[in-house]
Amino acid sequence: MTKMTIEKIHEMDSVEKCMTLAKNTEERGRPDLAEAAYHRAARLRAESDIKQGRRPDIDYHLIGLKNCSTLIIEEIGVEAEVYSHRTLSYKGSEIYITPLEEQLVNAGHPRKSVVGRWVVKETGELLNDLYEATYGAKDS
């Protein structure tokens, strides 16, 4: 592999190339470059989604969270931890946030007490605010 820098990663224009580089650099013991490549891939996916008029899927690392950051819905006493860029860990299982919210609603929690109520335990920030700061506010 040629000498790669984080600056060059930020110039990459393909999600596929970024993901390949991330996996290769991770295997070669360069987590710094892998993380930069994962972030670039997430940014490219988000830009593509926005151009197509759709809201990007949340990427926890891109919005500033790390694995093991805790998300809570204090009102109903639920906690989940960031497991990866896109998934959470809840009761020992890896799950995306939307199916988790559906699971909580199906367990009897009112939808209005679940959806949009996640807070970062460590900072008190609302997850939706972090999302909008990263991807932009939802158009009316």
**Of 4 and 9, more confident:** 9
Token pair listed for 9: 């990663």
HEC profile for 24-81?
HHHHCCCHHHHHHHHHHHHHHHHHHHHHCCCCCCCCCCCCCCCCCCEEEEHHHCEEEE
**Using an 8 Å Cβ cutoff, are 107 and 90 in contact?**
no
- Flag whether pLDDT at 70 surpasses 70: yes
**Of 7 and 75, more confident:** 75
- Residue 3 pLDDT: 64
Of 56, 71, 59, 60, which is closest to residue 117 (Cα–Cα)?
71
CA distance 69 to 60: 9
Burial class (CB in 10 A: 0-12, 13-18, 19+), 79: middle
How big is the chain by its Cα radius of gyration, in Å? 17
Per-residue confidence band for 127, with pLDDT thresholds at 50, 70 and 90? very high
Token pair listed for 138: 């939802």
